[in-house]
Amino acid sequence: DAGVIQSPRHEVTEMGQEVTLRCKPISGHNSLFWYRQTMMRGLELLIYFNNNVPIDDSGMPEDRFSAKMPNASFSTLKIQPSEPRDSAVYFCASSLADLESETQYFGPGTRLLVL
Amino acid sequence: DQQVKQNSPSLSVQEGRISILNCDYTNSMFDYFLWYKKYPAEGPTFLISISSIKDKNEDGRFTVFLNKSAKHLSLHIVPSQPGDSAVYFCAASASEGVGGNTPLVFGKGTRLSVIA
């Protein structure tokens, strides 16, 4: 299995521009999570989906952030307009809910720098 | 308010010795705990987990211990190897049962350095 795939791996943009991060979860997984890692706050949840339905977006910082999951194999996280404080590493993770495990598998992350 | 705390930001251990990484949590609803390992420029990699119905889980050189009454868990690596040098994250979740997973709450990580 290819694991969780994220693109792009790196993104440098200017303040005010729109940024779109993409994620392909592991095939067959029914839960998808977006996390952000910063030095100050560590790894924190932004939003998660179960069976393509957003369950909790309380971690999304502001209305500038939005996420979609149009189907089981694809999700996007969009920031519009981007600001320098959005600079961080954004991780996507997926899991399969079952009785035995709730293990989440992470992608390699997208390192975002907003100038 | 941090629900999952890793109070040691770093730890150095000699190769061949035991590494013990500690984690404390405050939310009594947490019932599933995981350890992840992270190398620079990579995503966290799942290492080992434990359900709250157990107090120990072992996988090769890695053992996780859970003390529910103290709300404390630890990861033991023995013997430690230079390739174990990475940042280790403790994570916890409060499951909602079959049908959907719940997010993980992470500690801030402990950087382990295994010295040859």
pLDDT digits (tens, 9 = 90+) for B21-33: 999 999 999 989 9
pLDDT, average across residues B64-83: 97
β A53-56/A5-7 pair status? unpaired
Task: Give the phi and the psi of residue A16 in degrees, each rounded to 5.
Answer: 100, -15
Task: Give the model's pLDDT for residue A100.
Answer: 62
Which residue of chain A is at minimal alpha-carbon distance from B87? A42
Which residue shows structure tokens 């003390």?
A: B67
pLDDT category of residue A62 using cuts at 50, 70 and 90: confident
Residues on chain A touching B103 (C-beta within 8 angstroms): 33, 45, 48, 56
How far is it, in rounded angstroms, from Cα A35 to Cα A42?
Answer: 10
**3-state per-residue secondary structure call for chain B:** CCCEECCCCEEEEECCCCEEEEEEECCCCCCEEEEEEECCCCCCEEEEEEECCCCEEEECCEEEEEECCCCEEEEEECCCCHHHCEEEEEEEECCCCCCCCCCCEECCCEEEEEEC
For the cut 80, the answer to whether the pLDDT of residue A102 exceeds it is: no
d(CA B62, CA B59): 5
Are A97 and B34 in contact (CB < 8 Å)? no
Q: Classify A86 as helix, strand or coil.
A: helix
Give the single-character DSSP code of A25. P
Instruction: Say if A110 is an interface residue toward chain B (CB within 8 Å).
Output: no
Please tell me the least confidently modeled range out of A47-61, A87-101, B66-80.
A87-101
Asked if A91 and B44 come within 8 Å (Cβ–Cβ), the reply is yes
- Please tell me if residue A98 touches chain B, with a CB cutoff of 8 Å: yes
Q: Least CA distance to B48: which residue of chain A?
A: A103
Average pLDDT over chain B, rounded to whole? 92
Nearest CB to A45: which of B32, B44, B103? B103
Q: What is the pLDDT of residue A65?
A: 97
